[in-house]
Amino acid sequence: NAGVTQTPKFRVLKTGQSMTLLCAQDMNHEYMYWYRQDPGMGLRLIHYSVGEGTTAKGEVPDGYNVSRLKKQNFLLGLESAAPSQTSVYFCASSERRGRDFVNTGELFFGEGSRLTVL
Amino acid sequence: DAKTTQPPSMDCAEGRAANLPCNHSTISGNEYVYWYRQIHSQGPQYIIHGLKNNETNEMASLIITEDRKSSTLILPHATLRDTAVYYCIVRARGGSSGSARQLTFGSGTQLTVLP
């Protein structure tokens, strides 16, 4: 059981380049999230998804796009990378129970993807 | 969701209990208290959560005061592997069916377990 897997784990981009981070989960979770974490700071939510085919903006969505074409995958795209997007990106998933997943609030995180934009 | 206040850092001797405090004085009646931790360079890990009763699992115990304005996470026998940043998060119940309640991570408490 792999849990939440992120690829790639490391990437260096030049300003203006584009790339996609892939998150895959094998737990059949409804909800998926993308967070970023800058040095010495907590995690900030970029985008999230409550189910296949749906996405929503989080706290810091600008400069990113996401897609959830399959339930198990959540893609984070940077169309034109900027140095301010240098960060560690974490994907997470959680299970829906009952009317709302709040009964657990237990997010499973991947190991992170370290992105550097020069 | 209510805000939380945690000390930026704490030390604990290996084998002793680590007691991590969290203040959430503006917590509402329908808000849960969650604890996560993040070991250096890894993804955060869920530890425990509670509403108003004390909770215990294989990792830790959560003590919530009667007025719910503060809580304490207890690691009963801290080991060096417990060195991590610990996040206390307050999160409300969700709304309509299908809505997601995001977890907001603050700066947390850096716990260092000393040999």
In this structure, what token pair is assigned to residue B29? 């009646």
For residue B96, what pLDDT is reported? 41
CA angle B33, A43, A48 (to 5 degrees): 85
Among the partner residues B87, B93, B105, nearest to A102 by beta-carbon distance? B93
Residues B50 and B33: their CA atoms lie apart, in Å, by 5
Task: Assess whether pLDDT exceeds 60 at residue B37.
Answer: yes
Interface test with B, best of A107, A108, A111, A114 (most B CBs within 10 A): A107
Closest CA to A30 of A98, A111, A87, A79: A98
Q: Residue B3 — very low, low, confident or very high, per pLDDT cuts 50/70/90? A: confident
Give Cβ neighbours of residue A98 (< 8 Å, ≥ 6 apart): none
Task: Assess whether pLDDT exceeds 70 at residue B1.
Answer: no
In this structure, what token pair is assigned to residue A71? 């339930």
Summarised one tens digit per residue, pLDDT across range A75-105 is 999 999 999 999 999 999 988 766 554 546 7
Task: Identify all chain A residues contacting B104, using CB atoms and an 8 Å cutoff.
Answer: 45, 59
Nearest CA in chain A to B39: A111
Q: What is the mean pLDDT of each run of 10 residues along chain A (118 residues)?
A: 91 97 94 91 89 92 96 96 96 76 73 96
Q: Which of B3-12, B32-41, B55-64, B97-106 has the lowest mean pLDDT?
A: B97-106
Among the partner residues A42, A100, A109, nearest to B94 by beta-carbon distance? A100
What is the total residue count of chain A? 118
Q: Do B107 and A58 touch (CB under 8 A)?
A: no
**Burial of A14 from C-beta contacts in 10 A (0-12 / 13-18 / 19+):** exposed
Secondary structure class of A103 (helix, strand, coil): helix
Summarised one tens digit per residue, pLDDT across range B21-30 is 999 999 988 8
Nearest CA in chain A to B44: A109
Q: Which residues pair with B64 in a beta bridge?
A: B71
Q: Which residues pair with B115 in a beta bridge?
A: none
Give strand ranges (E) for chain A: 4-7, 10-13, 19-25, 31-37, 43-51, 54-57, 65-67, 73-78, 87-94, 108-109, 113-117
Inter-chain Cβ pairs, chain A and chain B, closer than 8 A:
74
Radius of gyration of chain B (CA): 14
B108 touches chain A (CB under 8 A): yes
Summarised one tens digit per residue, pLDDT across range B74-98 is 999 999 999 999 999 988 765 444 4
For residue B16, what pLDDT is reported? 96
Q: Which residues pair with B3 in a beta bridge?
A: none
How confident is the prediction for chain B on average, in pLDDT? 89
